[in-house]
Chain A
């Protein structure tokens, strides 16, 4: 890393320009809990590290209208957790983000970093996909917005072009009778990498599901939005037959790797189980149990 330059950008424009000029050899630095480890171990050798934490848009949590949040990409777990309203509206997103690392890591690690690192097992991503988040991206050619489920194109690969940065995440306006849950399976109970992760986000009124989004992580090259799940769940009372049906769909769409942490069969089976548990937990949360 001895040839690396450091720049603390104070505006989006400054960061984007510096990144564009570096022609692919720059990395944005938010919490640094992935990037510095990658640099130290030689996995990444950026010529320029652009610190984005001093950019206002990246470091703020804003309620732009009643129950509608925009969270900056460099906001840490500790800071998001302090926003009591956000925590109440999006318990699944918060629990997914808070599962990442120790208190020391939570003090630095950012929501945007977890997304941009591009791991198929990143814990926050299935929760954000289930939430229906939009990624706000800034680049040399201006701004663009894409649904978070389209952000990843392969392990470690995202849609970001040279010069582009993730600025913030826009959450949909939270409707009443809605909640979300993120569950993951890990070999250890804490501080481990997900073998399977599942995010579920539901609106459930008078015993009828009126909106549902289901996402799975660590079971394919990218986190998945299970579109078929929404079609079956919406309009139903989420009885056990419906959950069995969607659980089967979740398992059918799994395309995981086989490694020491989990076999293909195991990951696939667990995906179905986590979907059911996350759905039941979400219903409980909506009912206030």
Chain B
């Protein structure tokens, strides 16, 4: 069966790949492109650990076909730090110990980044609603929510 050729931009680099019609975006990211930061936990869009940003929107990469990404811009966790410098959210997650086992963390970071991209000064309620599609079974959510709020606060001060 013929593979499908797809041209995308991933983390600001042009990336072309060949995929099977049934491959999910997550399959291709992890198994072909070796971008294994996005995790597969539920595979059905419930847990958010495969979250990526597709053309500016937060999506579950397990719930889209790799073929659908033709012409799209994708951001994954691998593109979050710049030149070896951690993104403010990554740094704050470390400082606040907003993670334990780490499986959910890439998804939380992508979701938090998407939130602050759309809404730079969210309320706590807005953060909790926005992150409701990301499940963590270790830490509870308080430290994560506080980390996101602190980054938003820091961003305000630095403007």
Contacts and interface: CB of A to CB of B under 8 A. Distances in A.
Say if A and B assemble together: yes
A53 interface: yes
B62 to A, nearest CB: 8
Contact of A108 (B4, B22, B63): B63
B137 to A, nearest CB: 16
A102 B59 contact: no
A104 B64 contact: no
Interface in B27-84: 43-45, 48, 51, 54, 57-60, 62-65, 67-68, 70
A12 B68 CA distance: 17
A159 interface: no
Given A8-B67, A190-B132, A104 B45 contact: yes
Given A6-B4, A49-B21, A191-B132, A104 B67 contact: no
A176 interface: no
B105 interface: no
A193 to B, nearest CB: 13
A29 B45 CA distance: 16
A33 B21 contact: no
Contacts of B64: 32, 36, 108
A5 interface: yes
B63 A6 contact: no
Interface residues of A, number: 29
A49 B60 CA distance: 19
A6 B133 contact: no
A226 interface: no
Nearest to B128: A190
Contact of B45 (A33, A76, A190): A33
How many residues of B sit at the interface, in one of the four size bands?
Answer: 20 to 34
A4 B45 contact: no
A105 B44 CA distance: 10
B20 to A, nearest CB: 7
A107 B58 contact: yes
A61 to B, nearest CB: 16
A84 interface: no
Contacts of B1: 3, 5
A1 interface: yes
A37 interface: yes
Interface in A60-119: 76, 78, 101-105, 107-108
A79 to B, nearest CB: 9
A51 interface: yes
Most A C-beta atoms less than 10 A away, residue of B58, B59, B67, B114: B59
B21 A36 contact: no
Nearest to A191: B132
Nearest to B52: A104
A240 interface: no
B25 to A, nearest CB: 10
19 contacts: A1-B22, A2-B20, A2-B22, A6-B65, A6-B67, A29-B65, A32-B64, A37-B45, A39-B22, A40-B44, A49-B21, A51-B65, A53-B68, A101-B133, A102-B48, A102-B133, A103-B130, A105-B63, A108-B64
Nearest 7 A-B pairs (CB), nearest first? A102-B133, A6-B21, A107-B57, A1-B22, A104-B133, A107-B59, A104-B60
Interface of A: 1-6, 8, 29, 32-33, 36-37, 39-41, 49, 51, 53, 76, 78, 101-105, 107-108, 190-191
Given A32-B68, A107-B54, 16 more contacts: A2-B20, A5-B21, A37-B63, A40-B44, A51-B68, A76-B57, A101-B133, A102-B45, A103-B132, A104-B59, A104-B133, A107-B57, A107-B58, A107-B59, A108-B63, A190-B132
